[in-house]
Amino acid sequence: MKRLNFPPAANAFPALLIALASSVMMTCTIAQAAEEPTLKLRSALSLVPESVMTTADPMPVVFLDIGALSKAYDGALSAKALGRMRFVQQIRPLEALTTDGGKSWTDKAGVPFDEISYFTSFGSNETNITYWGLANAVGATKLLDTLKQKKFDAVSASPLILANGKPGAINLANRDPNNPWSGLMGRTSAVMALDSVVAQASAPELLTELNKSKTSVETNKAVAVALSGLDSSISETNSHIIQAGVFTPLMGVPAADPAFLLDAKKSFAELSADLEKQFTPGETGLPVYAGGIVADLDTGGSSTLAVSLAYGSCEDAEKALSALQSRWEEGMATPASVTVKKVYAAQDGCAAVAHFTTNAGEPDAFTEVLTNYLQRGFNVLQIGLAP
């Protein structure tokens, strides 16, 4: 499951998010209060370039909160915690946990696993970048100093970038399945500190591009509205985000002619009209959304899937709430209790938020949604002609 391996899109896909963002919503300003349930997720997204939202990947950013996972299972490397992780193949260093369960992690990685706050990964295949979120900038600097003793050499002085091989290279002589910096294929890792984060990529040039970005995923208009929806709904349930994925409208577009995405100058209404032409009469789904977030929540002993969809129209958000509930009941194999909520985002639109909780012993809803999508099964997030 590499970057969720969604079906390849036509070259026109990057135009979609630009058009939707400019047509659907205005700039969103959200308070960064410490009590926000999405605070750590926001911190991670604030360092991810907004440009990833214009790629062909339907879910361009994934996130795993190591601290929350550890609290839920009395240790992030317990068998149950390892079994909860759903983005192991997207977050490159986590592949090192699949062989020995992290027994040699501290020695190989240079930092204890429980000192890592979170991982965030974006980009696909050769362009993938993973952030190791640490407690502070001192922790990030300390990790780089440790890596200098583990066959990492400086390849750039300003910014300081270290690497353990040639850019983008695979060196089987360096293969070590338990080492998150080389892995099963001996892939090169280039690393750079960004405040409290250590960024890992396969080549230094991918890291230098990070300093050129002026906007982030956190401030993306659709993502900002989706985050506000999560903050509101999670606060009411006293739950915590274990892992999450940020997705674009491509998540809800079936394998059809993507020509409607070509013109970035089209208004939202025009894009919606073109999208409707892709469906046969009677085909059902959600109203066209600008983006969203799926999150796996720990609710104190049980697992809940949270879906937050961003809409410029609060009327469409209202329609989406009933559609989400009915689509789950009609198409998903595992029964779930469903709660829905519409969250106003000032002048920016509304978030349609739904929580799906399955019974103990049943497949968790977060896993079921991702698995169904990968296997081309029922897609609860599909965009349709009418809800």
**pLDDT digits over 323-375, tens only?**
999 999 999 999 999 999 999 987 778 999 999 999 888 889 999 999 999 88
Assign residue 179 a region (left: φ > 0; alpha: ψ between -120 and 50; beta: otherwise): beta
Look at residue 278 in the predicted model and tell me its pLDDT: 61
For the cut 60, the answer to whether the pLDDT of residue 60 exceeds it is: yes
Look at residue 385 in the predicted model and tell me its pLDDT: 62
Taking the chain, what is the end-to-end CA distance rounded to the nearest angstrom? 30
Give the mean model confidence (pLDDT) for residues 86-112.
96
CA 345 vs CA 128, 196, 236, 311, 313: distances in Å: 32, 30, 17, 10, 11
Look at residue 267 in the predicted model and tell me its pLDDT: 46
Q: Read off the pTM.
A: 0.87
For the cut 50, the answer to whether the pLDDT of residue 5 exceeds it is: no
Look at residue 279 in the predicted model and tell me its pLDDT: 59
Q: Which residue has the higher pLDDT, 248 or 140?
A: 140
Q: Which of 45-49, 98-102, 264-268, 310-314 has the lowest mean pLDDT?
A: 264-268
Rounded to 10 degrees, the C-alpha dihedral 342/343/346/349 comes to -50
Helices 268-276 and 14-24: crossing angle in degrees, nearest 10, is 130
238 falls in which pLDDT band (50, 70, 90)?
A: confident
Look at residue 280 in the predicted model and tell me its pLDDT: 57
Alpha-carbon gap, residue 301 to 307, rounded angstroms:
20
Q: Which residue has the higher pLDDT, 108 or 255?
A: 108
Look at residue 272 in the predicted model and tell me its pLDDT: 57
